[in-house]
Amino acid sequence: MSSKLFSPVTLGPLQLFNRIAIAPMCQYSAVDGFPTDWHMIHLGNLALSGAGLLIIEATAVTPEGRISPDDLGLWLDAHQEALAPVIRAMRRHSPIRIAVQLAHAGRKASSEVPWEGGANIPPGQPRGWQTVAPSSVPHAEGETVPLALDADGLARIREGFVAAAKRAHALGLDGIELHGAHGYLLHQFLSPLSNRREDDYGGSLENRMRFPLAVFDAVRAAVPREMAVGMRISATDWVEGGWEIEQSVRFALELKARGCDFMHVSSGGLSPQQKIPVGPGYQIAFAERIKRETGLPTIGVGLITEPRQAEAILQQDQADVVGLARAMLYDPRWPWHAAAELGEQAFAPPQYWRSQPREYKELFGSTRLGQR
């Protein structure tokens, strides 16, 4: 029986030739939002992996929305122009579908890169700036108190998402993923732990969903229907009294009604008080529930490292696509190795065909595999 991992799937208008997605992974290697040589090397390497979908790292829609000063950005036309050669190179040598994750970090912005400790950088310090959020509640004790966004601030950020989405479309990307997870701005509006507002954007679940849904509506309207638009969410904060799976299902149903093409289901990231029971596939149950109760295509993630583990998730209908991040960094040819283990075929550029082991003589298939 053929594997499900290497069968085609659609995420709205987006057709994938297999069900392996490379989840977005911040590289903290941009300069003023501009991609560098690192992005050409890194993304080019992943484009040759044989995966069906590559989602470019969290890409800031405004300068203050960067997680770190070294985040990739798409708030300027010049950013689009600088990223274009990277996209063209990937297109030239790989059939992989390409999306971008558009993001605003909110109160978790203005942080140092992970290998320098990742600490919050206060405004006024070199590389630091004033953060914004739904409410003036810091992410952690001792960190910068963010400014609560007013109506003008909300409109400016919404338009930042729209402008970045239009640039993503102009780049010829196949999809957009809005970052509503991991404690960043859209998640901060959803969670009652970070959203203490008393206006139309706070309090009830309907109010807390209002701004993230407005951003989705604006982005969906800004690009053609042929471009997939989905959202990544944290299904739970893993903190008592915080955002949880029942609210996530409600949110997903609202997104579905607005034309959302897929949900990318993660968890956590909002609070240092979180208690996460990390283990293989620890977030898959959330993807399964959202898929079952909404009918939306889902990307499931969470310590998925082994081909048969990924295959089992799909066979059990727990997700439509599996997303790999750290596992793909560790083994950028993970899809080749998965295809070999499952008796399937994977895309590889002809320059690499002679690497095919003798025992897997049909591993790389035909030159047309996965082509548009």
Question: CATH number, domain at 61?
Answer: 3.20.20.70
In terms of phi and psi (left: phi > 0; alpha: psi -120 to 50; beta: otherwise), the region of 268 is left
Amino acid at 309: Q
pLDDT tens readout for residues 312-324: 999 999 999 999 9
Residue 283, in any domain of the structure: yes
Would you place residue 109 in the very low, low, confident or very high pLDDT band (cuts 50, 70, 90)? Answer: very high
Residue 365, in any domain of the structure: no
Q: How far apart are CA 9 and CA 7, in angstroms?
A: 7
Residue 366: the pLDDT is 53
pTM of model > 0.75: yes
- Sign, CA dihedral 128-151-246-136, equals positive
Would you place residue 361 in the very low, low, confident or very high pLDDT band (cuts 50, 70, 90)? Answer: confident
Residue 370, in any domain of the structure: no
Residue 256 has pLDDT above 50, yes or no: yes
Residue 130, in any domain of the structure: yes
The domain tally of the chain equals 1
Residue 233, in any domain of the structure: yes
Catalytic residue among 184, 201, 330, 352: 184
Residues 6+ apart with CB under 8 A from 1: none
Residue 171, in any domain of the structure: yes
330 a catalytic residue: no
- Length, in residues, of the chain: 372
- Buried-exposed string 122-146: b where 16+ CB fall within 10 A, e elsewhere: eeeeeebbebbbbbeebbeeebbeb
Residue 112 structural domain:
9-360
Residue 369 has pLDDT above 90, yes or no: no
Average pLDDT, the chain: 96
Residue 2, in any domain of the structure: no
**Strands 14-16 vs 9-11: parallel, antiparallel or unpaired:** antiparallel
Residue 3, in any domain of the structure: no
pLDDT tens readout for residues 135-181: 999 999 999 999 999 999 999 999 999 999 999 999 999 999 999 99
| Residue of higher predicted confidence among 362 and 263 | 263
